[in-house]
Amino acid sequence: MTSPVRIAVALSSMKSAEWVEPLREACARAGVTARFELWDGRRIDARYAVVWLPPAELFTVETGLRAVFNAGAGVERLLAMAGLPPGLPVMRLVDAGMAPKMAEYVCFYIARITRGLDRFGGAPALPDWNADRPRGRPPTVGVLGLGAIGAQIAQAANLFGYPVRGWSRTPKQLDGVESFAGAAGLADFLAGTQILVDALPLTEETRDLLDRARLSQLPAGSHLINVGRAGTIVDDDLLALLDEGHLASAVLDVFRVEPLPPEHRFWHHPKVTVTPHLSGPTPREPAAQQIAEAIARLERGAAPSSLPGFVERARGY
Ligand code: GLV
């Protein structure tokens, strides 16, 4: 009998212990006999690691790793770890059940913005049958980033009747989504967007992308929803444009520092809704399935770069 493949699990706030069984079962279904160990700093001779913000020593102690799996979509913090070996393949999750939840979150807030639904929470002081019942052309939703997540957000908004445009590094063809691409397409994209949804990864190209100049290209009265990465937006510029009235509101799920410090202005700003990075929780079973299938293919000799979720380090995602 072949000895089990050893896999280190280091998932920080994601509760590593709860992942072991789904990962083991998914590996068994994929035909891989694996032994998962909660990584405690001692060398286990791991061939793979499943991580979320792992301790830096993982990479100096486990020198036999053939690939590291990020149990989320965003890899910017993993890639920034000083000890990450330059040649170690990094894999990220592609959708894995996160995208529909993020699309649901975004569409919930779009409905709240466009239909005045805030008024109807709790018992009213007096019965009140008045409501906004918008019957005109709905506002245009613009989605920044059309990867697995952005594409589902764009298509969900379109399903709910919104005109939708998307902006990505390279042009994308998606039903019902007008495509804009590259630096040259950004100004036009922003000028025709009334609800901007940020679903970008944080890379050298997207860092601080939405500064005062770019956010000012949105029409007056626009709204922003950020489910991507906070580093793509300059906080002070966003706050200034909200204060000046150019932007009507912001819904923010991601922050430069998390948890968002209690004194941060976002918590107290009347035009800002803060949610604690919950729009796209990683669902264990589909994520474990995706990781197990990739491990099975690697074990059969596939090149990491041929698998979905292989991170091109130079590109940053
Ligand atoms: C969450 O932020 C993720 O990157 O999956």
- pLDDT bucket at 1, cuts 50 / 70 / 90: low
CB atoms inside a 10 Å sphere around CB 196: 25
DSSP bridge pairs for 68: 49, 90
Bridge partners of residue 167, in order along the sequence:
144, 180
pLDDT at 220 over 80: yes
Average pLDDT, the chain: 96
Residues 111-139 pLDDT 10s: 999 999 888 888 888 999 998 899 999 99
pLDDT digits (tens, 9 = 90+) for 244-274: 999 999 999 999 999 999 999 999 999 999 9
Cα 127 → chain centroid:
40
- For the stretch 135-179, pLDDT in tens is 999 999 999 999 999 999 999 999 999 999 999 999 999 999 999
Q: Output b/e per residue, 219-250; b: 16+ Cβ within 10 A.
A: eeebbbbbbbbbbbbbeebbbebbeeebbbbb
Residue pair 266/236 in contact by the 8 Å Cβ criterion:
no
Name the closest-CA residue to atom 4, ligand 1: 74
- DSSP structure string for 14-68: G-THHHHHHHHHHHHHTT--EEEEE--SS----SEEEESS--THHHHH-TT-SEE
Domains of the chain, each with CATH number or no CATH: 5-96+282-306 (3.40.50.720), 98-274 (3.40.50.720)
Model pLDDT, residue 291: 98
Q: In ligand 1, which atom is closest to the CA atom of 277?
A: 2
- Token look-up 């039903």 returns 175
What is the C-alpha to C-alpha distance for residues 282 and 263, in angstroms, rounded to an integer? 28
Q: Which of 229, 246, 284, 297 is catalytic?
A: 229
Q: Is the CB of 154 under 6 A from ligand 1?
A: no
The residue to mutate among 77, 78, 252, 282, having the most atoms of ligand 1 within 8 angstroms of its beta carbon, is: 282
